[in-house]
Amino acid sequence: MSSILKDKHPIPTIKNEALREKVFTHKSATGATAGLAVDQEPALHNERLALLGDAVTNLLVTSVVEFNRPLSRVGDISSKRAELVSRGRVALWADAYELPQRLIVHPAQAALIPRNESARVQVFQAYVGALYKDQGLNVVEEWFGPVLEDALNEIEARERSQ
């Protein structure tokens, strides 16, 4: 899947260097303290970008399913959306684009975090969020829409064969 996806749907480059750096900075590398209700300074890690990227991903997934399957009922759209944004699938996309290998983490966790499913999902979502902030929804949709359409077709082909 990795080289095929990367070649078929190349990921756009984030032009803003500060955003690009933040995408690949795991919280463990920043010395950020947990438990504060309000950050004392802007986050230097990718968590906020991942939150934004999660919302953008859900918007695009819903749009792609609704557009490509206009006769589907809402329950079917929700079901397809859940499968398309499953943690396992998003982690595979992260791996296909080799995003986890670029993570900057605390040295004590360097062997664990890039393989951790949550961290892989987070870096993918952070990339989507940063790309959205950097270049807007159209650029994200031009790249990620076809990725989603391929995944939707794959899911439906698997369902038909069962």
DSSP of 72-110: --HHHHHHHHHHHT-HHHHHHHHHHTT-GGG-B--GGGT
Residue range 117-132: mean pLDDT, rounded: 96
Q: What is the CA radius of gyration of the chain?
A: 16
Place of tokens 């802007």: 42
- Classify domain 2-9+17-29+51-161 by CATH architecture: Orthogonal Bundle (1.10)
Say if residues 85 and 121 touch (Cβ distance below 8 Å).
no
For the segment 28-65, what is each residue's pLDDT rounded down to a tens digit?
Answer: 877 765 555 445 456 788 999 999 999 999 999 999 99
pTM, to two decimals: 0.89
Q: What are the residue boundaries of the structural domains of the chain, listed by start? A: 2-9+17-29+51-161
Residue 71 DSSP code:
T
